[in-house]
Amino acid sequence: MSQSQRETAISKFFSGHFCTILNVGIVLCTFVESYMFPFAIIKWMIIVAKYRDIGTLIKSYISPPNTPSRFRYNYTLELMTACKNYNIEQADVLRIESHVSVVMESEAGEPYDFIQLTYCGQDCQRIPPALWKMYGAKVRYLDLSFNSIETLRGFEHFPRLDELILDNNKLNDGVTFPLLPHLKTLSINNNQISDLEGLVNKISECFPSLSYLSLLSNKACPNQLSDLDKDESDYQRYRYYVIHKLRSLRFLDSRRVGTAERAEAATRGEFMRVRRPRPEADAAPALPVARERPLPVDLSALGKHKGKFYQNMKYYAQNGHYLPRPGHLGMFD
């Protein structure tokens, strides 16, 4: 190393560590002063009392703590979905543009281990295959609210999913859930689910680690948001049943599951199923109503009919006795 390079390195060192050198110099001067002048020890005590963290400060300059930083990267991805348009005589390919928000996080120097996808308000009926092909194995958070999703086909490609938001879609009782062993949060508010028992059985089989569930504004959730005829007692019975079936739940419909409520659900939850009347399509067919057969009309007998018991007479009371009154028709004409 030449003399000029050595001087440049020394100047860079002093310029970069000026504060550290200044603090160390002040401490050394204080030590020398206290040695030469014993009463200067009082000044040293004041400095220690006021700047008690100076040792930690010097240590941080000498060897900074080895705490890895976490990086976060946000961007918006534009998707072009191709589908056939059969409204035209010659089948044409219709390209639909949509947008997905992507958040990626990782430790310093490590590959991305957390991916969050937000695909809201795109009017899609199912998740685009491009999302699971590009990010599926690392996605931990997926928000698909305010769409028209009717099927969960393709969700099996998100094995590490922790949180799934499906609010304001068109999921019904026929939906099939994939096995997601790490899923902890499921929100399916404002869908078309009415069979609570079937839904809870599917959830218990497919999401064994679930701790948060929200079913508000579904017919399966009997509260006043979905049915004005329901009251708090109906909703509480619903909670007892769901908590009994899903033992790992900590939150249900934005309300925490308390200890007393869990104990009550363990005792009575099995008998708290909310039964709803079957829809008209599934109801038993009504019995046929027998049609009345009118009596035949004999035009030649008009004006000649007679009663079964009395003919051409009507009784009236006179002196305690019933006498016929001539000239009138009978009672059973």
Domains and CATH numbers, the chain: 8-62 (no CATH), 73-271 (3.80.10.10), 305-333 (no CATH)
Neighbours of 240 (CB within 10 A): 22
pLDDT of 308 strictly over 50:
no
CA-based Rg of the chain, rounded to a whole angstrom? Answer: 42
Average pLDDT for the chain: 75
* Confidence (pLDDT) at 165: 96
* Strand, helix or coil for residue 300: helix
Separation of alpha carbons 183 and 165, rounded Å:
11
The runs of H, that is alpha helices, within the chain are 3-16, 18-36, 41-50, 54-62, 129-135, 196-206, 232-245, 259-268
DSSP per position, 86-99: TTSSS-EEEEEEEE
**CB 217 within 8 Å of CB 226:** yes
pLDDT of 108-145, one tens digit each?
Answer: 767 788 889 999 998 888 888 888 888 888 899 999 99
pLDDT of 184-210, one tens digit each?
Answer: 999 999 999 999 999 999 999 999 999
Separation of alpha carbons 38 and 49, rounded Å:
18
- Across the range 9-31, mean pLDDT stands at 69
Separation of alpha carbons 25 and 14, rounded Å:
13
Most confident among 75-79, 273-277, 305-309 (mean pLDDT):
75-79
Predicted structure pTM score: 0.61
* Confidence (pLDDT) at 86: 46
* Confidence (pLDDT) at 99: 86
* Strand, helix or coil for residue 130: helix
Separation of alpha carbons 11 and 22, rounded Å:
15
**CB 171 within 8 Å of CB 192:** yes
Residue with tokens 């769409």: 147
Q: Which residues pair with 165 in a beta bridge?
A: 143, 187
Separation of alpha carbons 237 and 196, rounded Å:
12
Separation of alpha carbons 156 and 196, rounded Å:
23
Separation of alpha carbons 35 and 104, rounded Å:
58
Q: Which residues pair with 72 in a beta bridge?
A: 105
Helix (DSSP H) and strand (DSSP E) numbers for the chain: 8, 11
Q: Which residues pair with 102 in a beta bridge?
A: 75, 117
- Provide the pLDDT confidence category of residue 105 given band limits of 50, 70 and 90: confident
